[in-house]
Chain A
């Protein structure tokens, strides 16, 4: 087709599209002219004018048919048809507002739920990490045979250096330690999230400077001057994007750092950090193979697979095990894709939710298809008439499909509005980490495309059955039929019944899923955290760098702060801890027991180290099982005493003789702490995590070198038990702390109940959403069943009338209808249970305290569904029961 072809055809197409009426008029004129001439010709053959006209008509055939064929040669006609069909469809829908609103609302719920969940899937799962070649980025973790296959942890400095020096799979490896630094001297003292990074960190992530320079190799040499790179966000937030910041000195946790540069605006920090400082060999922890504290990331060479890199790392780890048996005998290493790590914990839940809304949409389609089928029987005459007037079958199917797609698009528009309103509500109950790890969750281009595609597909899907039915139209039969009753009632009931069985099965499946989530959430709520979280306020204090010499006054000032807080009105007691339960952080380490042989190397003997002040256990109301709590005198005098928890006592002192025995912390058996008490177990890691062996001791009992090392990097949490709602006491408490040290940043002042609630956010979200979808499914199934039973009763009115005339009683009729309904229900429930048993196994990782094949859940939801379904049958059944036989027999 050359350009010349378009020269002729384009004006013609445009003309037939936009001057439709005129083109049609011309067609009319042309055929009229033809008939005129033909008649003349016959008249010229001495035929009567009437007869001549009739013959001319006969030669031409049906004028309308010829016209339609001529119209079809204009390729623009389908657009015209589409517009016409849509207009006709809309008019039709306006004529039956009840049907239209039920259908549109049903579809809107289905499409809206899908749009909302897809926008989350899009934001979380489909968005790549915001770094160049993100698929090459990996994270390396240390593993330990003591933790089993699921455990992994941070790396030690020397291990990291060995991996970096010996591996060939990576273009680079970099380590980072997430900490915080106290920024003072620039307004109010602030805690800034910071990463202490090795030389390649920013380079690996592809960071570019917006101002100044990023790190150079010289910044990492021993004795190099302290430098800092700011994120664009921090630069803007605190320094107003002032370019004179370059070369300025900032006081961070009491030390001076020179600003060398600012990262570009589009560089996304890996861990929400706001500035970076180099980790240099001056840091003694870098040389300690038993301190595991570094996050290690790497970039694979483009031609190296993750698996190959893992194999190489295994070899290196094996070498290190041989070389350093004291520290590395249990240690291994694993590499995971950074993208995979980011989404792996949310993916199963999101996919299950996505599948659930998919089912809801399918059920919505089935319901609308059912409605259309019922309407279809009423419209059979209309269709037959159209066919008789010359409409071709394909054209009829197209018209019906256009109508259903019109419905679907209306549903999608409303659904989009629902999703738009629902997404903020969804995000409000979503866990913080989910929201933070995602890109923006909103209705963007991709989501719109998804919804548009979805609405077309649903329109075709639910329109298909009714449309295909119209093809099987036998015009003679239909037009001969007396009333609105259709002849193929039984085939129709079969189709509708199959659809309803599918619906009940899907509802059963979703109910089981939702039921399991709700039960799992309920059993999570029944778990007590091991302490009394009610009326306890927590807050984080960040210590500046402290030399060994400065340590005693620092500890004294902490004791003084606690003392002041305890003296406040409304405060019952106060203490401190590192780390707070439910904070997501912990310190664990090996320990030894006096007069017991050291544990076998590959098993390890680890405990959670809980560094507390006097009265921690009583403030948190952790029950004391025997012995006593640590008191002020222990704290002030630095007595070498400790409290252990039940988990440790049961595991390591099975004879119950723990009191007065001694344990040592970390690897130094040169300081023994006498056990003075045994406490009940705290759930430190969340309600679903079993408690671990723990040792409680005061900071003053530790070696000063250990304290000065961890104090600047671990926040000290104050816990304050108050007499009334803890939020009221927040201000005076912070003021009391600042009265001792005005430069102490106090952050995250939150009731502990909020922390627990936040830790439940994800299971709450999952069970809420699945619960909502399951309820939607039940409603849809009930509506579907109701409409089918109503249809069957209407179809059978005549038969019911005969039965009643022959002496059937009302209750016979009732049981007749209910039996039919029960059949559908039981098939659906059995099929749904089978599907549920197969599919819920996929969600067993999300469940707590309940198995995926929990018979109680299965039984309970089956009973619930059967009751709802029977109720849906009962209404039409009662109508059948009240049929007046005389009326029914006359009913045609």
Chain B
């Protein structure tokens, strides 16, 4: 049925992720070690369980965006399956960006938890 495509077609965005958080997580994974897109999706699932539902469909545009920003860089390597695969790694610029975002995140989350812990008068 083609009817479904007549709904307004929007960029598929992970719904319950704060804007920019996905970027930070991806940067963090790639800071630990260079990996390819599939491995990133595996890692996302492992680490966050089912809390962070990031579909494969939104992962790739996010990775490409980071690449275009110059934060990560990609190279093609022969994978364990004997096929060429794209491996992403962090750039110097990306490392700085990660520090900045992590910093922001730390401040934001501690501020929010302070608010949440306020006692009702």
Contact = CB atoms under 8 A, between A and B. Distances in A.
Interface of A: 4-5, 7-9, 12, 26-27, 29-31, 33-34, 36-38, 40, 59-62, 65-66, 69-70, 72-75, 387-388, 390, 392-393, 474-476, 479
B68 A74 contact: yes
A9 B61 contact: no
Contact of A70 (B5, B9, B61, B83): B61
B93 A4 contact: yes
B9 A30 contact: no
A7 B69 CA distance: 11
B56 A34 contact: yes
Nearest to A26: B86
Given A29-B84, A387-B5, A474-B6, A9 B60 contact: no
Nearest to B70: A8
Contact of B64 (A29, A37, A73): A73
B12 interface: yes
A539 B51 CA distance: 102
A75 B38 contact: no
A74 B3 CA distance: 30
A764 B116 CA distance: 84
Given A30-B37, A475-B6, A476-B6, A73 B68 contact: yes
A33 B86 contact: yes
A29 B37 CA distance: 12
Say what secondary structure dominates the interface of chain A. helix
B3 A476 contact: yes
* 8 A-B pairs with least C-beta separation: A8-B70, A61-B57, A69-B61, A475-B6, A73-B65, A73-B64, A37-B38, A70-B64
A331 to B, nearest CB: 78
Contacts of B65: 73
A60 B6 CA distance: 20
Given A70-B61, A73-B68, A387-B5, 9 more contacts: A4-B93, A27-B64, A33-B85, A34-B41, A40-B81, A69-B12, A73-B65, A75-B68, A474-B6
Interface residues of B, number: 34
B61 A66 contact: yes
A392 B7 CA distance: 11
Contacts of A12: 67-68, 70
7 contacts: A4-B93, A33-B83, A59-B56, A69-B61, A387-B6, A393-B8, A475-B5
A9 B5 contact: no
Given A4-B92, A73-B61, A475-B2, A61 B55 contact: yes
Given A36-B81, A388-B5, A69 B11 contact: yes
A33 B36 contact: yes
B37 to A, nearest CB: 6
Contacts of B5: 387-388, 390, 475
Task: Name the residue among A36, A66, A390, A393 with the largest chain B CB count within 10 angstroms.
Answer: A66
Contacts of A29: 84, 86
Contact of A479 (B2, B56, B91): B2
Interface in B64-99: 64-65, 67-70, 73, 76, 79, 81, 83-86, 91-93
Contact of A5 (B12, B61, B70, B84): B70
Task: Name the residue among B37, B56, B85 with the largest chain A CB count within 10 angstroms.
Answer: B56
Contacts of B68: 9, 12, 73-75
Nearest to B67: A12
A474 B2 CA distance: 12
B27 to A, nearest CB: 14
